[in-house]
Structure 1
Amino acid sequence: MNLKEFSELLGLSPTTVSRALGGYPEVKEDTRRRVLEAAAKHGYSPNRRAASLATGRAMAIGHVIPTVLNHEMVNPVFADFIAGAGDVYARAGYDMVLSVVSEREEARAYAQLADMGSVDGLIVHGPREGDPRVALLRKSNLPFVVHGRVPDRPLDYSFVDIDNRRAFQRATDLLLDLGHRRIALLNGLDQMDFARRRRAGYLAALGARDVPADPDLIAGFEMTEHASHAAARRMLALPDPPTAFLASSHIMGIGVRRAIHDLDLSMGRDVSVVIHDDMLSYLANGADIPVFTATRSSVRAAGRRCAEMLMEHIAMPNAGLKQEVWECDLVLGASTGPVPR
């Protein structure tokens, strides 16, 4: 079925159908929904080449992934983000361009994508300290959305982020309320913005209760099960070990749980654990009762929202910035309990 046939089926003009599928804001929401539902029902997908010729657009969105960030980006968390974004791209008739480059080639990759016109917009992943990408993209006038926020930079760009500081402040407060005073933080690499904000929330909660922060109980590293297991084992071997852990991901929490079990201790009774849960499709935090107490926010939903915002920027280049900070849920699971006597 081509565009003309699909349009006749709906009783709409081909222009209206194309704009509804492309996410143009001037199309009424009822019309957009009707077109999308009909496209799904009849298996219609727009001809990207025809759409490109008609609109003068590349009909593609870019994602640049530096290999230096493979601990953050080239992993199942990134895959879930892309799955959410990909749903939006597909509905709008857009392809996705993934560029995996070395760190030294990153700026060149962004500049090349902007200059060649091979994409209509970009999503920036893993903002970090000293990040040059926002300034580069603002000069290029290529629409973009940041997943997260860049440390120490004016908020002169569109972004979707979670309130990492508040989430980890609440999680630390929970452990303090349970009587814990030796609380360890296993975090991402220090230059990553989310890790800086989570650490700030943890320290703020401790400071508000006049609990001193022990540097031996704070660590930032690649967010893997192996690294978190090693860090937890080291901390549990201290003369005054932690009675609770905050871990920045579900995978890190699994490493902490293994370290606890190595010492024939019980998670939730002898040592409490709180994680951040991205609600990954491949790694559920229990069924009816969560395994881990967790701060929770869906990374797939974040991918979907970043893509929607980018589509809006492409359709309306002169529209204002869109900036969203999402509150995390705090869910109670089996991994936390009162400080042991």
Structure 2
Amino acid sequence: MNLKELADHLGLSPTTVSRALNGYPEVKEATRLRVQAAARAHNYTPNAWAKGLATGRAMSIGHVIPVSKTHEMVNPVFGDFITGASEAYVKTGYDLKLTLVSDADEAERYRSLSARGNIDGIILHGPHLSDRRIELLRTLDLPFVVHGRASEMKMDYSWIDMNNTRAFERATELLIELGHRRIALVNGQEHMDFAFRRREGFVAALIRAGIDPDPGLMRAGEMTEELGYRAASDMLQRPYPPTAFLASSMVTALGIRRALEGRGLRLGTDVSVITHDDDLGYLRNGTDVPIFTATRASVRDAGRQAAEMLLQMIRDPSCAPLQTLIEAELILGQSTGPAPG
């Protein structure tokens, strides 16, 4: 079934059907739902090329991924985000255009994508504290949404972010309530905005509880299993080792658990661990009962929301900037308990 046939079946004009399927705000909600239901029932999928001709759009969204020597962007978290974003694109007939570039070539790639006109918008990944890419994208005639924020940039732009500061405050407060005073942080790279905010929340909670932050109990780096293992192994050899760890990644928390098991320490009894990002597609935090206590915010859902925000900006440029702050849940698992006596 083509567009005209679907329109004839519904007794509507092809223009109305096209606008309903593309999310135009002037189409009544009842009409939109009716058209969408009919399209599903008749397995109608709009042709992206035809839609582009009809709307004057490229029907494609750009994701530019830097192949960095200091930060590996393509990881389990990124995979879940892209999956969520793709779900939103598929519903509206958009394609995802993924481009890998070196750090040095990233700015030029944004300019090239804008000049070619083969994408309708961009989602920016992995913002730093101060990020020149945001300044550049503001000068280009291209809608964009940042996954995260840049703390040192006061300009207005569209973003979606998890409340990293509050999530790590709550996690640290829980450990303090359990009697822990020597709490370690194994964080991501702290020139990245999310990691900076997590450290801020961790330190703020310690200071409010009258605990002096110990630089020797803080590590930062690429969030790998190896980082968790090496950081925990080093800290556990200290004269006064930590009784609890706070990890910025489920992958890092697995490394911490390996270090504990190698020393015969019991997770949640001898040493407590709280992790973040435990709700990943192929790396689950247990089944019925979570293994790790965790601060949880669905990365897949964040990807879907980011895509929906960008598509809304493409349809209605006057609605920008859009900004969404997601609060993390605190999930209790088997990895936390009272501080050992």
TM bucket, shorter chain: over 0.9
1:8 is aligned with what amino acid?
Answer: D
Structure 2: gaps (5+ residues): none
The structure-2 alpha-carbon separation of the partners of 1:155 and 1:272, relative to structure 1 and needing over 3 Å to count, comes to: farther
Name the counterpart of 2:217.
217
Q: Deviations over 1:264-289 (max 9, x none)?
A: 01000000000002511111111211
Q: Percent identity?
A: 57
Paired residue secondary structure (1:231): helix
How far 1:115 moved relative to its partner?
A: 1.1
Shift of 1:34: 3.0
1:90 is displaced (CA, Å) by 1.0
Output the CA distance in 1 between the equivalents of 2:84 and 2:311. Answer: 14
Report matched runs for 1:38-187 at 5 Å.
Answer: 38-68=38-68, 71-187=71-187
User: Bigger shift: 211-220 or 32-41?
Assistant: 32-41
| Kept in 1: contact 2:48–2:94 (CA 8 A) | yes
- What are the Cα deviations for residues 31-82 of structure 1, in whole angstroms up to 9, with x where unaligned? 3333333333332211111111111111100000001178452112111111
Code of the aligned partner of 1:100 = L
SS of the residue 2:319 aligns to? coil
1:17 aligns to what?
17
SS of aligned partner of 1:294: strand
2:290 aligned counterpart, secondary structure: coil
Q: What TM-score, normalized to structure 2? A: 0.97
The equivalent residue for 2:284 is 284
Return the alpha-carbon distance in structure 2 between the equivalents of residues 172 and 339 of structure 1. Answer: 13
Q: CA deviation at 1:221?
A: 0.4
Q: Secondary structure at the match of 1:126?
A: coil
Q: In the alignment, what sits opposite 1:202?
A: 202
Distance 2:144 2:7 in 1: 31
Which residue of 2 is the match for residue 27 of structure 1?
Answer: 27
Distance 1:298 1:201 in 2: 20
Deviations 1:228-284 (A, max 9, x none): 111111111111110000000111111111111000010000000000025111111
Q: Which amino acid aligns with 2:76?
A: P
Relative to structure 1, the CA distance from residue 70 to residue 305 in structure 2 (aligned partners, 3 Å threshold; closer, same or farther) is: farther
* Conserved 8 A contact 1:274-1:335: yes
Report what 2:326 is aligned to: 326
For the residue of structure 2 that corresponds to 1:241, the secondary structure is coil
What whole-Å deviation, never above 9, does each CA across 1:158-197 have from its counterpart, x for those lacking one? Answer: 1111100000000000000000010000000011100000
Question: Residues 318 and 71 of structure 1: is their aligned pair in 2 closer, same or farther, counting only changes over 3 Å?
Answer: same
Change (3 A) 1:93 1:155: same
Is the partner of 1:212 in helix, strand or coil?
Answer: coil
CA contact (8 A) 1:172 1:205 kept: yes
In 2, the alpha carbon distance for the partners of 1:71 and 1:3 equals: 45
1:127/1:151 contact within 8 Å kept: no
The one-letter code matched in structure 2 to 1:243 is T
Give the distance between the partners of 2:307 and 2:108, measured in 1 at CA.
Answer: 23
Residue deviations 1:107-141, cap 9 Å, x none?
Answer: 00111111111100000111113311111111112
Which residue of structure 2 aligns with residue 231 of structure 1? 231
CA distance in 2, matches of 1:162, 1:129: 15
1:67 maps to a residue whose letter is V
Contact kept? 1:278, 1:299, Cα under 8 Å: no
In the aligned structure 2, how far is the partner of 1:133 from the partner of 1:151? 14
Q: C-alpha displacement at 1:28, in angstroms?
A: 2.5
Shift of 1:199: 0.2
Residue of structure 1 equivalent to 2:6: 6
Q: Across the two proteins, how many residue pairs are aligned to each other?
A: 341
Look up the equivalent residue of 1:183 and give its one-letter code: I
Distance 1:251 1:67 in 2: 20
Which residue in the other structure is 1:299 paired with? Answer: 299
Whole-Å separation in 2 of the counterparts to 1:30 and 1:88: 20
The 2-side partners of 1:31 and 1:160 are apart by 30
Q: CA deviation at 1:293?
A: 0.3
Q: Could you say what secondary structure the match of 1:318 adopts?
A: helix
Amino acid at match of 1:187: N
In structure 2, what is the Cα distance between the partners aligned to 1:19 and 1:227? 50
Q: 1:278 to 1:53 in 2, by over 3 A?
A: farther
Instruction: State the shift of 1:155 in Å.
Output: 4.7
**CA–CA separation in structure 1 for the residues paired with 2:168 and 2:218:** 13
Residue in 2 that maps onto 1:275: 275
Change (3 A) 1:262 1:200: same
1-side partners of 2:256 and 2:39: how far apart? 47
Runs of 4+ in 1 over 3 A off after TM superposition: 69-72
**What secondary structure, in the 3-state scheme, does the structure 1 residue paired with 2:219 have?**
strand
Query: 1:13: Cα distance to partner?
Result: 2.0
- TM-superposed CA distance for 1:216, in Å, is 0.9
